[in-house]
Homo-oligomer: A and B are copies of this chain.
């Protein structure tokens, strides 16, 4: 039945969900056209039941849309949609930071966050960032954002942020890969790191409004990255879910 031993060998539904999401993000499925269940069943090697469960979940997640006559299609996103999704994430992370600042956090958890910032600092201060440095940066950056959300200590907010960041281009590390190909990348990373430091400071000093404003502006770096990346061919391909972006929004 279920059986979630270790990491592999998950339920068929989860397998279908992960596999489908990957297919969508790599652009194997054209936005707007119906996802044929039978064809997908053959492709993924499972039955229609878990596939349909995955389709429902991905629709709720926002990656798919219902077709009025039945079935699902990959959703297309305009540049404005992506801009707004990033702004939504920034707004929610700002709320989390404000909650943390206003309500106070335990010193141990704040210490964890500080350690995370220190680790990021170490990566970023390398004079020439290699590809491996970027590879180390991404998970640590994600850890920072996850810890920040934890500090808010609110299940509903955690859920909403998870949902908002499930769209690939709205995720905190969404554009870091694409960013690596840009000449401005180092400068942007240094600014991002400044934000990381400042928001910790604001939370420690219980400056709610400041913590909120910093996280909002922090998310807007992703927006700048998006614009740069989309106007830079080499980089645009590395944007996650690039195939879902529809020109003419």
Chain A contacts to B: CB under 8 angstroms? 1-2, 49, 52-53, 56-57, 60-62, 69-70, 80-81, 84-85, 87-88, 91-92, 95, 99, 154-157, 159-160, 163-164, 167
Across the interface, name the chain B residue whose C-beta is closest to A99: B84
Number of identical monomers bound together in the oligomeric complex: 2
User: Does A62 contact B159, Cβ atoms closer than 8 Å?
Assistant: yes
Give Cα A53 to B13, complex, Å. Answer: 12
Give Cα A53 to B72, complex, Å. Answer: 14
What is the predominant secondary structure among interface residues of chain A facing chain B? helix
Q: Give chain B nearest CB distance to A86 CB in angstroms.
A: 9
User: Does A91 contact B84, Cβ atoms closer than 8 Å?
Assistant: no
User: Does B154 contact A84, Cβ atoms closer than 8 Å?
Assistant: yes
Across the interface, name the chain B residue whose C-beta is closest to A60: B60
User: Does B60 contact A156, Cβ atoms closer than 8 Å?
Assistant: no
- Top 7 closest A-B pairs, CB basis? A60-B60, A84-B154, A85-B156, A56-B56, A84-B156, A91-B95, A81-B156
Residues of chain B within 8 A (CB-CB) of A60 are 56-57, 60-61
Interface-centre pick from A87, A160, A164 (highest chain B CB count, 10 A): A160
Give Cα A163 to B166, complex, Å. Answer: 14
Residues of chain B within 8 A (CB-CB) of A84 are 99, 154, 156-157
User: Does B62 contact A154, Cβ atoms closer than 8 Å?
Assistant: no
Residues of chain B within 8 A (CB-CB) of A49 are 49
Pick the residue among B85, B95, B154, B160 that contacts A163 (CB under 8 A).
B160
Interface-centre pick from A61, A69, A85, A167 (highest chain B CB count, 10 A): A85
Q: Give chain B nearest CB distance to A209 CB in angstroms.
A: 11
Pick the residue among B69, B70, B164 that contacts A160 (CB under 8 A).
B164
